[in-house]
Every structure is written in C-alpha cells, then in structure tokens.
A and B are shown apart, each in its own frame.
Chain A
Amino acid sequence: MHTQVTAGSVGQGEVALSQAASPRRPALAVSDQVFRAAALACALLVLTVLVGILASMLYGGWPVFREFGLVDFVAGSTWDVNNDRYGAWPAIAGTLSTALIALVLGVPISLGIAVFLTQLSPPWLKRPIGTAVEILAAVPSIVYGMWGLFVLAPLVAAYVQVPLNQVVEGLPIVGTILYSQVPSGTGIATAGVILAFMIIPFIASVTRDMFDQIPTVLRESAYGIGCTTWEVVRHVLVPQAGVSIIGAIMLGLGRALGETMAVTFVVGNANRLSASIFEPGSTIASRIANEFNEALGLQMSALIALGCVLFVVTFVVLAVARALIARVKVY
C-alpha cells in the first residue's frame, strides 16, 4: 500500500513539514494553514492575557508607585496601613526564601521519587505509588494550610524549634539563621516545607513521564556496558530529559512563588523582616490574601503594586534560571 508522494511534498530530503501540503489536495492545504493559524492565535492569547494582567495591575498600583517611587516601595520595610506607609521588602524576601526552601527540599525528593518509580520499583508498586504522588496535587491548598497549621506546626515547634534553639542559641551565623524567639511552629521554614510537598507532585509526575519517554534502547545500552543504576540515571536519563526536567521545575517554582492559601496559614504573617528562617514572616501572596478583602484606597493600590512586584520578581527568577541552563541545548 503506497501513498503517492508528489515531488513537492518533501523538499530535497529535508523535513519540511510546513511544505508537506500536497497541491492535489487544496482543502487540506487550507485546513493546514487554519490549524497553524489557530495554534498561533492560542499562543498569542497567552501573551495577551499576561499583558492584560500586568496592565491592569500597573493601573491599579499606580497611585502607590507615584507616591513612594519604585525604589522606595521595593526596598522599604515598613508596612503601616494607618499611616499609609508601604514597603515591599519583607514580603519579597519572604517569597524568595520560602520558594528557595521549597525547591531545595522538593526537587531532590521529586527526582528521587521519579527515579524510584521508573527504575527501582517492582511493577506492581508503580501504579499505586504513581497515583499516590498525583493525589498530593489533588489536595486543595487550603487543606495543606490547615494540615500545616494544626498538625505540622506543633510538631515543628516541639521537635525541631525547641531542641534547635537550645543548640544554636548564641552561635554567630548559624544562630541567627536558625534561632526562633517564640517556637510557635509557624514561620518561613514551615511554609517552605509545605510548599515543597505541594510542588513535589508536579515535578515528580512530569519527570516520571519524561523518564518513561526515553527510548529503552538508551538505558539498555548503558546497562549493557556495565553501568550501575545510579550511573544510568546520572549519565543517561537525566541528561536526556534534562531540559524537560527544568521545565518541570519551572512548574514547581511557579507554584511555589504564587501559592497563596497554604502559605497564609503557616507563614506567621509578620510584617517584619527577620534573619531567621524559623521566625514568622510573610510572602507577597500571603500579604495580598490577608489584607485584600478589607483594603481600601491606598492600601489596595499598595497590594496591587505588590502583585506587580511579584510578577517582576518572577520574571527575574525565571530569566536567571534560563540563563543558567542556556549552556544546555535549549529550544
């Protein structure tokens, strides 16, 4: 069974898909163009939505930018609603530190789970555990928040903060980062841990799917020359799926930066900046969530301006991440 291949459909041995429309079937040529146009339109729609969101937020936050100037607002540390003084720095620092903790904890665990599921697990265990990991994504964020506040926080307070306090109290650098004045269990660290568990399902599921997509022949050849499992993972699987793993991490990072509900419950909600990760802090999303409902006037503009700042922070973080992986062949 052969399909007629006309001369014009595959040009000169190159894979010119966009020219694959056969002149004998003009209807298909049109539908081809329509399909491409539709795809382009959808992609542009994504762009438009972001521009729209940014524009509406700039408009909403403008009064605050005009009042304080961009630098003062971003670097300022006071958030005083009654006296209408707003500074975003504690919230920005909180957002970055919780996201960092979430990644530091979440990425290794996710990769470990993905490797387990694809390389180590007996076949009968794969499906249940794979599904279990996906359910972690299904849990509503408010449940994470409540679990964090009512279950995890007391445990962190009793078994982590209290002993840690006794050990690091007075120590120079370590003490500043790890000491907590009131071991309440809520704080940047707890928020980071909760976020880690929220992003694990995203990174793990996607990584697992990518590992599965890698042609078996690559793994088999590596085993065939005597590689251990770890070596196969490190030298074959991860590089092959490399860029895609970064994509999965981006998914996770996105969630970590923007997550509102869960973080609001456990981050302690202090408008102050503190050096210790076990002290309460706040993130941009939690600040907005906490105050938005009651906000009026300049406070609301300040919250929207915070949202703008979050977008910019996200831009910067993602741009840096991309620059770091630009060495790898990216397309």
Chain B
Amino acid sequence: MKLHHAIFGTALALAAASAPAAAADITGAGATFPFPLYSKWAEAYKKETGTGLNYQSIGSGGGIRQIKAKTVDFGATDSPLKGDDLEKSGLVQFPTVLGGVVPIVNVQGIQDGQLKLSGEVLADIYRGQVKKWNDPRIAELNQGVSLPDANITPVYRSDGSGTTSIFTDYLSNVSADWKQQLGTGTTVNWPVGLGGKGNEGVAATVKQVVNAIGYVEYAYAKQNKMPVAQMRNKDGAFVAPDDKTFAAAAANADWNSAPGFGISLVNQAGAQAWPITGATFILVYKSPDRPEQVAEVLKFFDWAYKSGDALAADLDYVPLPDAVADQVRGVWAKEIKDKSGKPLFPGNPS
C-alpha cells in the first residue's frame, strides 16, 4: 500500500505544480463533426488570449443532454434542434461552420471522381434495391465507363452520428421511398450492408472490401485518398466535392427560414452546389446561470468568425458566410442576457 500511496501523492503534487493558474476555462461538448476544428481554434485562441476552451466530442446527443443538464457552458450539435425544443429549454442556437459528406467507392478500375451517381440511385443502393455495379440505372449515368458485374456492399456508420444525419437527410429529400421507409436520423435501420465505427471505420471498411461504397466527411476521404463519386445536384449538374461546392450550397440558403438557423443545406439549388452539405450548431442558454462563462463563449466564437477562417479551410471545413455571421451576432445581442437583463454580447470590447 505504501508504494501506491507514494505514487498517488507524487502524481497529485505533479498535477498541482504543473497546472497553471486557471484562466477562465470554458467547457463545451457535443458534435464530433467540428471537433478537430474547435480544437484547432481553441489552441490558437489560447495562444492569443490565454483563455482555454475545452471542447470534447461526445456526440450531438451527448452535447444536447449536457447543455440541458447544465454540466457544460455550451453544447454542440450537428442536427439542429427544433423551434419548440429551443423555446422550451430556453436555448439559443447558431451555426459555426459548414462541411460536406461525400460518397467513397472501392470498385476495380474506377478512379477518383470518375463515377457519377444521383441521389435516387444512391438511396436505392442503400435500400438494397440496386444490387450490382453494372445495374442499368448506374450504367446510364456513367456512359463509357466499364462497371463490373459484382454485388455492391454499402457501408454505413454503426455509431450514431451527424454525418449519418446529413446523409439520410439528403436521401430523404431525394427519395420518397427512403423518407417513408427509413427517414432521417443519427441512426437508421439500415436494411443491407456493413457498419463501420466512426468515419475512420467506414473508410477502412470500404478500403478493405472490394466493390463497397460508403459515406464519410470530406476530410476523411481526402486524408485516406479514397476514390470519391460525383453527385448530381438539384440543378442536374454533376459536381465533385470541394470547399467551393460546399460554399455554393450555403450561398443560396435562407438562414432565417427555420428557428435558430436550423435549416437543412442538402440538395440546395445552384449549379455548383454540392448536394450533401450540412452545418453544425452551438447551443447556449438565453439567461445562463454563469453569465461570465457564456460571455467568454460568445467572445470565442466571435473571434472564430473573424479570424478562424484560414484555420477552418486548412482542415477542409467551409467557413460561414460573413453575412450569416453578422446575423448570428445580431441574435446574440438581442437574445442572450445576464440576470440583470444586460446583453452579454458585445459586452467588453475584446
């Protein structure tokens, strides 16, 4: 027992000695999609201002639960909350960045960007209706490309995730059968295929299983150098995913059409628009118990809107258009107040 008392004591002493005088640390938790970006922003923000933002990705559901339980200063979610939920809980919701979900394939002879798919075909692949790669519906979209006579193995996310949410939102949008049978959600009742854990798991499974197709966040497709399929967007054009096409999807969106900016960005109009795009959101209380903390949260995101664009682009995220960021600031000033009714933003000039 003495040995581990000694270890314990030393460890505590180490911890006490090395932890610096705590700056106003803000804690947030939730969505996995923006986790790398928030970490990168937090690192840069701490260097600049000394305030530490501790963001942990426990999933959108987790983020929503934690903010409702008031165990964190802000929650993050990939799927926006509905208006009445926001009203009832006294929360304010705003978007931070955009990203795209892309289909990856592992088919012999198919190069990156060579395969063309449409939303209906993609939905039917995942519903198990389109079974082979040389199915006439795929062939007609890909004239001149030789497709093998082999079974398609669809790969999906086994863990609940915002990526699945965006993907199924898109499929529900373009296929009435999908909407009725399976719907939108962080997990759906996939009728066929294999599950992979996390974006990495899906990418690994697709890489490993010949004639497989999967969906991942754009960064993972890029990092794993997986062949990506082009998609036909609402305007009928085939587009490849990159930050331009993601931004094009957001450009025409009407951000005020849903409470808390909670609009869906899938299948947006625009010749250049990537059809499987989504945003990620932050949740804070209108009258928080700890207003100083929330004021710091708002300062952080204000900084992110102003100075975080380059970092976001580095990591293959798409920054929010400036006009939308201004709308968000307007909402902050109007809605988020401390106990005495004073708005928390702009607060003290940063």
Direct contact of A and B (CB under 8 A): yes
Chain A interface (Cβ within 8 Å of chain B)? 78-83, 149-150, 153-154, 157, 182-186, 264-265, 268-271, 280, 282, 286, 289-296, 299-300
Chain A: which residue is nearest B186 at the CB level?
Answer: A294
Whether A280 contacts B194 by the Cβ 8 Å rule is yes
Chain A: which residue is nearest B179 at the CB level?
Answer: A82
Instruction: Write out, one digit per residue, whether chain B residues 81-96 have a CB within 8 A of any chain A CB (1) or not (0).
Output: 0000000000000000
- Whether A269 touches B197, Cβ cut-off 8 Å, given contacts A154-B208, A182-B209, is yes
Whether B187 contacts A294 by the Cβ 8 Å rule is yes
Whether B208 contacts A185 by the Cβ 8 Å rule is yes
CB distance from B193 to the nearest CB of A (A): 8
CA distance A26 to B64 in the complex (A): 60
CB distance from B297 to the nearest CB of A (A): 21
For B193, the chain A residues whose CB sits under 8 A away are: 270
Whether B59 contacts A294 by the Cβ 8 Å rule is yes
Whether A79 contacts B208 by the Cβ 8 Å rule is no
Jot down 6 A-B pairs with beta carbons below 8 A, ordered by A: A79-B189, A157-B209, A182-B151, A269-B195, A269-B196, A290-B159
**B62 contacts the other chain (CB 8 A):** yes
Whether A81 contacts B189 by the Cβ 8 Å rule is yes
- Whether A150 touches B209, Cβ cut-off 8 Å, given contacts A78-B189, A81-B185, A290-B160, is no
How many of B's residues come within 8 Å of A, CB to CB?
Answer: 34
CA distance A186 to B201 in the complex (A): 11
For B205, the chain A residues whose CB sits under 8 A away are: 184, 186
Whether B182 contacts A82 by the Cβ 8 Å rule is yes
Whether A264 contacts B197 by the Cβ 8 Å rule is yes
Taking CB atoms and an 8 Å cut-off, the chain B residues in 158-210 that contact chain A are 158-162, 182-190, 193-197, 201, 204-205, 208-209
For A150, the chain B residues whose CB sits under 8 A away are: 204
Q: Which of A182, A186, A268, A293 has the most chain B CB atoms inside 10 A of its CB?
A: A293
CA distance A290 to B59 in the complex (A): 10
Q: Which of A83, A154, A182, A299 has the most chain B CB atoms inside 10 A of its CB?
A: A182
Partner of A291, one of B58, B160, B190: B160
**B127 contacts the other chain (CB 8 A):** no
**Which 4 residue pairs of A and B lie closest in terms of their CB atoms, listed nearest first?**
A293-B59, A294-B160, A269-B195, A269-B158
Partner of B197, one of A154, A271, A290, A296: A290
CA distance A227 to B228 in the complex (A): 67
